[in-house]
Chain A
Amino acid sequence: MNPAGVDRTEVLELYRRHFNAPLAHHLELGGCSIETAGRGSFVVDELGREYLDVATAHGIFGLGHCNPAVQARIAEQLARVAGPTGGLAHDPGVSLRSRLARLLPGDLGRVTFAGSGSEAIEIALRTALLARPARTRLVAARQAYHGKTLGALGMMGMNHLRVPFEPLWTDVRRVEYGDVEAMAAAIGGGGAAAVLLEPVLAGGTIEVPPAGYLAAVRDLCDRTGTLLIADEVQTGLGRTGWMFGIERDEVVPDMIVLSKILTGGAVPIAATVVSEAVAGEADRRADGVDYSSESACWPLVAAAADAAVAYVEEQGLARRAQLLGSYLGEGLDTLAEMFPRFVAETPGIGLMRGVRVRNRVVETALWLQLRRRNVVVGLSLNSAAATPVLRVYPPLTVAREEIDQLMEALYDSLQSLERLRPRAIYALAAPAMALQFRLPTRMLTAAANRADTAPSKAVAR
């Protein structure tokens, strides 16, 4: 019955004892099995069941699971040299650096690699401090996600993730995303050291800013000498239907941070690319100190990432994301109209989409329903969001039929919930939520009651 010969309860026990006990609870309550393989848009578990993966771990499987082009480069490089080269150059690293610099607009050309998106944000902040040493203020969006290392965490407005680790930065202004006036006030007349911004907000939510927002922020930065850092960890390399999210507003930031699709779904890597001008300013202040990390760009890692970026370019995946994104977006909009009791809106752009649900109970219930139908969407895992957004990030290589399969599963799942009284939905999801987030029952009951009085009752029944 179990071809992989592994026992799920044993693995859960190991997670509990040696890794992350709350995560073990969460995965157990979700009935989550063990991943053993991946192919294209699908993940295979220890029982051989196939799941359509439209969570793609925040986009790291943007080229599908086990992309053949990436796999071929890995096999080739593994036979030559994989590990550290004492600071010396190697072909995959040289190729990846020049490919990124060529692909990026303006004079974004100084590439530094890191082991994760968080670490790449740290590099960007460090560079900003070096290039603007006289300024203390940093600006970010209130609902943004930038990472869990201390510098990146200090920028974030999500209190539940940041507050336990304070004190961090002393002068961070956090503004409403999409609001140019608020941004102008935060930057102030004298300017800030830097503004850190996602082209599409993606911290347990999804919000596409009004057209022109990024251009307006760029303008504010230019006028005050403030550096603009684009956090394109999730949006970069085709996800939004543009090669980079900043292209929608034809903006050139001073720094851009990439990861997710850059990993090729195979290796841990991120990159911070700084404009030559700003890199020069930072260099002068650093006075010869090399802050680069020892392990960030090993040949095997670089080869996989180089193959990934080449694949995005050669297969025209940004364009593909735009076309299929429209198809996906229309489907989600239709569902939102059909099930207003549960779905508040379906924000997104390209193949970066979300389903904003009415409350956290609905989020968990819908996620569980989809899971039963062998579809994995991204749980917001944001215990602070009142109306969380389930994330729909299919691989950019997704087939139209696979989007249809997702729509069918979503429709069936919402239909199932529709048949239930709110109390029953609560009963379905609450135990999972109570254990997962240790939420008081009182709060969950209140959420269930709100679902009861959602505006859609008349439509639904």
Chain B
Amino acid sequence: MQTLAARQEPVVVSARGATLQLEDGSHLLDFASGGLGHGAAPIAAAVARQMSVNPLSTRHFLSLPLAHLTARLALECPGSLEVSYLCSSRSEAVEGALKLAHAVHPGRTKLVAVSGAEHGSTLGALSACGQPSRRDPLPRLLFEAELAPSPVETADLVDRDTAAVIVEPWPGGPDLPVPEAGWLRELAASCAACGALLIADESRSGVGVTGSMFSIQREGVVPDVLVVGGALGGSVLPLAGYVTRRGLNDRVYGRRDPTLHASTTGGNPAACVAGLATLEMVKREQLPARAEASGLRLLAGLRELRRRHPDTVGEVRGAGLFARVRTKTGEADAVAAAALERGLICEVDPGLPGIALRPPLLSTPEEIDLGVEALDGALATATPAGAGR
């Protein structure tokens, strides 16, 4: 992820919603981090209370917040996804999912992933990375993933040698094509036919971002493993994990050493309390519906930008508060740098022609409009000479 290059080491001193306040008094809109957004009072209060008595677990006692959050996730997740392993980063959650797949299918060597997608920066997660720029510098990885040219084509690669397929149901990278509806059902059917695990990485698209609790629900598909994260920690503490079916979990972890997969601070009480408070808030304030509405506002704004800058802006796609803009001018780096000058942080893949916009769930309509306005200004200046307008 590259979010900033231009300014001289700006320092964030406080934040609210999508807005970061810098030391010099100026403000920036953060449309790169996603998540819930800053300053949600109920979450801060719950975390403060837990922090003051029992922030991390001894692991030699039972932990109430862990029990409650894993039970709550079982309720929120579709189908019979009901066993969770929690941790503190997306990478580690993906590692856990891949471990499960390895151990469920010890004889199978093949992992299918999507070209252009990425799932984290640990070595297992990097082995499933579909971005040559991230893979190539590493002389070797733990295993070779087979990359489908696009999400739709993943189903074609699944066979009886496939341990797992890892996909983002709403493709996360700035430069990824958005597949047509129905592709996930087809993929799930292929996986089921071959016994391959379908791992849905919803660490960016989950917890209300795309307008439903998990974006996979938009397609009515239940994966074997769901990777969660993103907004789950309430933008207060990092919190991620994977959720799977009990039968699948028990095949690997059901009758073995209780610490076969674990992490000392994963699923710690303070983060679990943040997770519970966040899920409560998502329900109470109907944040998926709000994300849907704000997302339409964002998408309308971006489509207007395409009309205003036809030589610069290509395809515009979005689901809730997760949108992507393709640039026609080659690299999007210059647009991102110009946007930052105008107070907007957005995400680009270095050297590739796409911008991802992930405003937090608590973004206000004003913040969405300001973000679109900043991007408008950036596109005006980033249009290369000769492209004409």
Contacts and interface: CB of A to CB of B under 8 A. Distances in A.
B235 A84 contact: yes
B8 to A, nearest CB: 10
A37 B270 CA distance: 12
A86 to B, nearest CB: 4
The 9 A-B pairs of least Cβ separation, nearest first, read A151-B123, A150-B124, A83-B235, A115-B88, A115-B89, A35-B61, A87-B3, A18-B70, A268-B265
A3 B124 CA distance: 45
Contact of B265 (A60, A84, A85, A126): A60
Contacts of B138: 126, 129-130, 133
A122 interface: yes
Contacts of B124: 149-151
A290 B255 CA distance: 40
A442 interface: no
A285 interface: yes
A296 B89 contact: yes
Given A57-B264, A115-B238, A116-B265, 14 more contacts: A4-B64, A14-B71, A22-B255, A57-B56, A75-B52, A82-B38, A118-B95, A129-B140, A148-B95, A148-B261, A160-B260, A169-B142, A436-B258, A437-B257
Contacts of B11: 88-91, 94
10 contacts: A15-B67, A33-B62, A43-B61, A87-B1, A89-B9, A90-B11, A125-B123, A263-B265, A290-B2, A299-B12
A120 to B, nearest CB: 10
Interface in B67-84: 67-68, 70-71, 73-74, 82-84
B57 interface: yes
A287 interface: yes
Interface string B335-374: 0000000000100001000000000000000000000000
Given A45-B61, A164-B106, A298-B238, A85 B30 contact: yes
A55 B264 CA distance: 12
Interface string A1-24: 000101010011011011111110
**B: contact size bracket:** 35 or more
**Residue among A30, A57, A292 with most chain B CB within 10 A:** A57
Nearest to A438: B255
A38 interface: yes
Interface of A: 4, 6, 8, 11-12, 14-15, 17-23, 25-27, 30, 32-38, 43, 45, 53, 55-58, 60-61, 65-66, 71, 74-75, 78, 80-91, 94, 114-119, 122-123, 125-126, 129-130, 133-134, 136, 148-151, 153-154, 160-161, 164-169, 259-260, 263, 265-269, 285-296, 298-301, 376, 378-379, 381, 383, 436-438
Interface string B198-239: 000000000000000000000000000000010001111110
A34 B55 CA distance: 14
B25 interface: no
Given A17-B71, A165-B102, A381-B257, A71 B51 contact: yes
A133 B139 contact: yes
Given A17-B246, A71-B52, A83-B38, A78 B30 contact: no
A166 to B, nearest CB: 8
Interface stretch (B13-21, B154-162, B307-315, B319-327): B13-21
